[in-house]
Amino acid sequence: MGSAPPGFNSYSQDHLPAAAEAAPEYVPRDDYAPPQPRTRRRPLWASAPATYLLVGINCGVFLAMVLHRISPWMPNVDQLMRWGADRPNNVLIYGQWWRIVTAMFVHVGIIHLATNMWCLWNLGLLAEPLMGSFGVFAAYILTGAAGNLLSTCYNWIHPLRDSAGAPFFQAGAGASGAVFGIAGALIILLKSKVLPVPADELRRLRRSVIYFAVINLAIDFLINFGSGYTGISIDNSAHIGGFTTGLLFAAPLVPRIGSPRSVFRLRLRLSVVLMVGLLVLFGFFIAQLAPPQG
């Protein structure tokens, strides 16, 4: 090691200037705020992953259909059936029960898709904080399946008839039964008194969802049963089935916000089990129906 500079060892604190000895330690100003670590911004989809996932699946199926050269405006019945649309004879005669689920992800053109996805996105963003991601996904699948089952039942009992009187069935597709199901569940959950939201705001939100359901159901009936043929056919039974089962799904449920986590999870499992049981029983009932005459 090298030697110290001359005089270094003899240099003591006594030789420091008085000002240096009296210099105080650095004291930060009262109004000084140290820089905070930058937090990564949460992705938009992370606030409602189930809603974005369901919208993404529906849009992905539609995009795949278009890439397979199916009309984005008005696909025909054969094209819809190839992609999973529902039809009573396919379900009850050929045993294609999987169509009860796949039909809720198939849409009859881009207008049909856009209107359903707009409603699903708005209702899903409102429902997911109350039901959780699994709750929204389960409500979509279960109420959509219930709507398709009721549609299958109704159209099997009341088929369309051609000029010779022979029965025939239209293909059914779309997410609207499931959308009405989420709306029904919201009407029940927004009435809960455990939500940490002002009562006036809850009433306003609930009233908006009720108006949505009532107005859209009324439009459905006017289009289908109004004067003259409009060229549009809306499946009222699927909408009513989805809406009714949405009310039933939420009846045992409590909102995730304001409720103990263990209670919410238990009630959610109970709702799912009850709905699955009801759908299985209803499916057995439909399977026993006699085919239409003619």
Domain boundaries, the chain: 48-157+174-287
Nearest to 136 by CA among 173, 194, 181: 181
Looking at the DSSP bridge assignments, the partners of residue 136 are: none
Q: What is the pTM of this model?
A: 0.83
Residue 223's SS3 state is: helix
Helices 199-225, 236-250: inter-axial angle, 10-degree rounding: 160
Nearest to 138 by CA among 195, 205, 207, 53: 53
CA separation for the pair 189, 104 (Å, rounded): 24
Cα-only R_g, the chain: 31
The answer to whether 148 and 87 have CB atoms below 8 angstroms apart is no
CA separation for the pair 45, 60 (Å, rounded): 16
Amino acid identity at 252: P
Give the homologous superfamily in CATH for domain 48-157+174-287.
Answer: Rhomboid-like (1.20.1540.10)
Q: Specify the DSSP class assigned to residue 71.
A: -
Task: List per-residue pLDDT tens for the chain, 294 residues long.
Answer: 555 444 434 444 444 444 444 455 555 555 555 666 666 676 767 789 999 999 999 999 999 999 999 999 999 999 999 999 999 999 999 999 999 999 999 999 999 999 999 999 999 999 999 999 999 999 999 999 999 999 999 999 999 888 888 888 989 999 999 999 999 999 999 999 999 999 999 999 999 999 999 998 888 788 766 544 434 567 889 999 999 999 999 999 999 999 999 999 999 999 999 999 999 999 999 999 999 886
